Structure 1
């Protein structure tokens, strides 16, 4: 059970005390009303004689209202605390996964898990638990008092009351199925909608926007139908509770009328007192029924969260060691990694000397980017070892490692905000002068000069408003600001025009002067400059060396450079 442990023992105690006080106020309120009515109409008491009772009644009603409010406040506080813990657990589960694995799957579904599904657990804490405790204490107290006044009425309540939990159980099973269907439709709709928004340009270009619109509309209709199904069950539940309560009250009223008028076995005060208390008994159970419906929805949401949290996580382990010399030397010994039991990198061994420039080459699907992710420690090594300056990589401190590393991919992510903020994120303590210098080194100055607000120009999510080359320059500026000792590139110049590529290559050369540089390379001029070339094919290293040696002795490399003969191609990527 995921939700129950999230409630503190203190919360149960507080809710129990509030429910006891509420039960006493309900009984006292009924007693005072009966006393006042009896005094006025049967004893002909004066107004001044009943003033103390009226004052006490007002106090009891106020106290009951206060307890009802306090009950809600305690429930809401418990819900907020529990949801905070749940969100932290879900977020922790996502972040425990290596970066490359956690980015898989639909973003919309993950957002739904983190926000909507967690939010649906609210009613379990804010309504179901408080009402359950209240429905345990208040009806029992009322029933005990009724039995002391008229045992026949008590028996009627005992015989009719079980029908309420019986119908709650029957309807609850239906609610669970409908809630699961609603949550599944919500996750599907959220994921599809976000995917469509992110790929809107592609959909337009391929003339698929109308088709996607129809798919979203169908998904929306399915979600609506699922929601209406949940509401139908809720309305059925409310109708049945009202029906049972009315029939029960009718039986009690009939029994009291017979005892009062025909058999003369009960007094007016007692009959009136029971008639005031009996509805309170059923109101408490009806409130529980309503809360039970919401609670079932919450339990369905918790089941979905539990399934997510129970999924196995390939968590990276870290130590506390730090790099003592910069730039570092990196050694790979029999490194392997598999996606879904299909090995992408197999038994890779290589030595990358400190301060060297290494190019990783191979056809599409050869495992180049995966190897780069393993070196960056964005993925766990399944077998083998990676050593950095003769220290096992998993013995390094996480912060110590990433402080020394910069990774620039083909599509670096630019956050919504200013260009200044996007550069500063790599080193929050940097001064304005440091950021200005980093931007100039990355070749951003011509762009900054054209912008009215310069570095403080606001850009959209994902770098909307910037070209591919400008995004790469922002990413390079981050690296210049950070001054890493290990730089990893996943061919950042692919798809750029020659002038932009030349500017970026000059910046990369300057950045790599005091660092170990590893790049997935597709351009011949980049490969030829490398101190060492690692040739990959089907996840394995099939050759290492420099360009002149490999083009004479390595068949895979010869095939690769043949692919770009007569002009540069990006077909290796």
Structure 2
């Protein structure tokens, strides 16, 4: 393509460009669907011609086509049109479903590799975007795109057929037709703004709802349930008002369209009527308008406006899809800017046991935060390294970097002779058991949440983690679903279940973040015993903790001073 051609191309808005990028994989299918639906609409001209010949023959007494033959041809063309419409609809709907599925996969895949230090998009915003808003792309693909193709082809074909019989009727259609897109564009400006405000309100309501649900226990303790309910009611009313404004704009555009299309059809009907009565003697080529031509024009005039009516009906779908596409683009840019974890998140074979250590490590806990410098350390298979330091010193940041969840600014992390990088992270992580301070569970039966589909002896893992009594107390046992945050079990019980998961996976390195925090002494002892059992199997332990009992159980302790200043590792007594 030459530079001159590029300069002549119509400029595209950022929202439209974002929508086209998302829809690029399904563009060929949408074009096929649009052309099939356009051919179907154009076949109406054939049906109209057959009907006009039959009726005109009956009126004049000189039948060119018998009523029976005309009926058979009319029905055959109707069957062909129905088949083409069904095929076009199926193609468009499949393409729409694929678009939604692809967008959801892109968002969730990118978010799954997003670094833990990222602060946006918020989980509730991302969930709303992938679950609710992405669906709004489907009507644009299934309805608007085929309607746009029909609007570009069918009116031109029917206008040419009209002009063949009557230049006067063609002028009426030529003048009335363009008025519809003009007013659609004017209404579309208001619709875009209203739709963008509605999308923003949906995201805000989801964030607010997720925040209030997460804090429901605190709200009850503070007696703030009524205030929280009032906030949700206010946000819900705001969304209702935005939605009603969007609907008002949609009805306005439909009303404008119906007005101009009705006027155009009425003017053609008036012209044909007076021409057949002999009151108007101009407008046809080379003589008066025939009955057959008049009936034909009356039958195709409404069809001239039908693609434009379909386009107007789907115009709001385009506006909504553009708003969603722009928001998806912003979310993808935010995810990319926040950084990604090392590796690709793919399944991999774990590396054989080997010493694990780091040297000259510098990590930035946040995009704008100063870098933290960590002292060097090595832990051998079956060894135990404790990490202590005041809150904010960077213990959690260090663990995240060791797991490849945060990219180091400098230095290196090694599993034996293998350096942690994008090419090796998946294999290194496959041998790591991660015990966060707040355990998380997938939405599945507990047996699946603990095994993650891997074979092995789950009963033995539960015994090693001292978690058998937890399963026995749960309604449904291993069939129970705990939810994301482990609803139905205490914090200590959730951590013991995480230890059981590490046992079952045969993890060779355990990264534990404050495993006994906020636990009573008996529960803390059970968690610590589960960790020590993991070490006895040959797994290396790296445990960040404030708990003196945990640190005393470690073979060596690495102290991190405030702001990541280096200190020496000290041997635990």
Provide the C-alpha distance between the structure 1 equivalents of 2:204 and 2:486, rounded to a whole number of angstroms. Answer: 27
Provide the residue aligned with 1:27 in structure 2: 45
Provide the residue aligned with 1:377 in structure 2: 404
Provide the residue aligned with 1:409 in structure 2: 436
Asked if structure 1 preserves the Cα contact closer than 8 Å seen for 2:37 and 2:88, the reply is: yes
- Say if 1:462 and 1:283 are closer, same or farther in 2 by CA, change over 3 A: same
Q: CA deviation at 1:417?
A: 4.1
- Say if 1:158 and 1:35 are closer, same or farther in 2 by CA, change over 3 A: same
Q: After superposition, give the CA deviation of every residue in 1:109-147 in whole Å (9 maximum; x if it has no partner).
A: 111111212111112210111011111111111111100
Provide the residue aligned with 1:474 in structure 2: 497
Provide the C-alpha distance between the structure 1 equivalents of 2:378 and 2:250, rounded to a whole number of angstroms. Answer: 65
Provide the C-alpha distance between the structure 2 equivalents of 1:256 and 1:171, rounded to a whole number of angstroms. Answer: 33
Q: 1:342 aligns with which of 369, 380, 385?
A: 369
Asked if structure 1 preserves the Cα contact closer than 8 Å seen for 2:19 and 2:326, the reply is: no
1:149 is the counterpart of 2:165 = yes
Asked if structure 2 preserves the Cα contact closer than 8 Å seen for 1:416 and 1:462, the reply is: no
Matches within 5 A, 1:144-543: 144-260=160-276, 261-264=278-281, 265-311=288-334, 312-318=337-343, 326-343=353-370, 345-355=371-381, 356-394=383-421, 397-425=424-452, 428-430=454-456, 434-450=457-473, 454-513=477-536, 514-543=538-567
SS of the residue corresponding to residue 377 of structure 2 reads: strand
Q: CA deviation at 1:328?
A: 1.9
Provide the C-alpha distance between the structure 1 equivalents of 2:209 and 2:474, rounded to a whole number of angstroms. Answer: 34
Q: CA deviation at 1:399?
A: 3.2
Provide the C-alpha distance between the structure 2 equivalents of 1:103 and 1:310, rounded to a whole number of angstroms. Answer: 13
SS of the residue corresponding to residue 360 of structure 1 reads: strand
Provide the C-alpha distance between the structure 2 equivalents of 1:259 and 1:17, rounded to a whole number of angstroms. Answer: 35
- Say if 1:140 and 1:479 are closer, same or farther in 2 by CA, change over 3 A: same
Q: CA deviation at 1:456?
A: 4.1
- Say if 1:247 and 1:112 are closer, same or farther in 2 by CA, change over 3 A: same
Q: CA deviation at 1:547?
A: 6.3
Q: CA deviation at 1:531?
A: 2.9
Provide the C-alpha distance between the structure 1 equivalents of 2:78 and 2:229, rounded to a whole number of angstroms. Answer: 56
Q: CA deviation at 1:73?
A: 1.8
Asked if structure 2 preserves the Cα contact closer than 8 Å seen for 1:179 and 1:230, the reply is: yes
Q: CA deviation at 1:325?
A: 5.0
Provide the C-alpha distance between the structure 2 equivalents of 1:317 and 1:416, rounded to a whole number of angstroms. Answer: 25
- Say if 1:469 and 1:129 are closer, same or farther in 2 by CA, change over 3 A: same
Provide the C-alpha distance between the structure 1 equivalents of 2:279 and 2:376, rounded to a whole number of angstroms. Answer: 102
1:67 is the counterpart of 2:84 = yes
Q: After superposition, give the CA deviation of every residue in 1:428-456 in whole Å (9 maximum; x if it has no partner).
A: 122xxx11111111112334455675444
Q: After superposition, give the CA deviation of every residue in 1:261-301 in whole Å (9 maximum; x if it has no partner).
A: 31343222222211111111011211112222211211111
Q: CA deviation at 1:218?
A: 0.9
The worse-fitting range, judged by mean Cα deviation, of 1-10 and 484-493 is: 1-10
SS of the residue corresponding to residue 161 of structure 1 reads: helix
1:85 is the counterpart of 2:102 = yes
Kindly tell me the number of residue pairs found equivalent between the two proteins.
541
Asked if structure 2 preserves the Cα contact closer than 8 Å seen for 1:322 and 1:397, the reply is: no
Asked if structure 2 preserves the Cα contact closer than 8 Å seen for 1:72 and 1:126, the reply is: yes
Provide the C-alpha distance between the structure 2 equivalents of 1:288 and 1:159, rounded to a whole number of angstroms. Answer: 18
Q: 2:28 aligns with which of 9, 13, 20?
A: 9
Provide the C-alpha distance between the structure 2 equivalents of 1:444 and 1:290, rounded to a whole number of angstroms. Answer: 59
Q: CA deviation at 1:106?
A: 3.1
Provide the C-alpha distance between the structure 2 equivalents of 1:84 and 1:416, rounded to a whole number of angstroms. Answer: 20
- Say if 1:44 and 1:482 are closer, same or farther in 2 by CA, change over 3 A: same
Asked if structure 2 preserves the Cα contact closer than 8 Å seen for 1:335 and 1:349, the reply is: no
1:37 is the counterpart of 2:37 = no
Provide the C-alpha distance between the structure 2 equivalents of 1:61 and 1:546, rounded to a whole number of angstroms. Answer: 87
Provide the C-alpha distance between the structure 1 equivalents of 2:460 and 2:393, rounded to a whole number of angstroms. Answer: 38
Q: After superposition, give the CA deviation of every residue in 1:5-35 in whole Å (9 maximum; x if it has no partner).
A: 1324254145314412430x21111112222
Asked if structure 1 preserves the Cα contact closer than 8 Å seen for 2:375 and 2:567, the reply is: no
SS of the residue corresponding to residue 446 of structure 1 reads: helix
SS of the residue corresponding to residue 363 of structure 1 reads: coil
- Say if 1:451 and 1:65 are closer, same or farther in 2 by CA, change over 3 A: closer
SS of the residue corresponding to residue 494 of structure 1 reads: coil
Provide the C-alpha distance between the structure 1 equivalents of 2:451 and 2:351, rounded to a whole number of angstroms. Answer: 25
Asked if structure 2 preserves the Cα contact closer than 8 Å seen for 1:442 and 1:474, the reply is: yes
Provide the C-alpha distance between the structure 1 equivalents of 2:428 and 2:440, rounded to a whole number of angstroms. Answer: 21
Q: CA deviation at 1:379?
A: 1.1
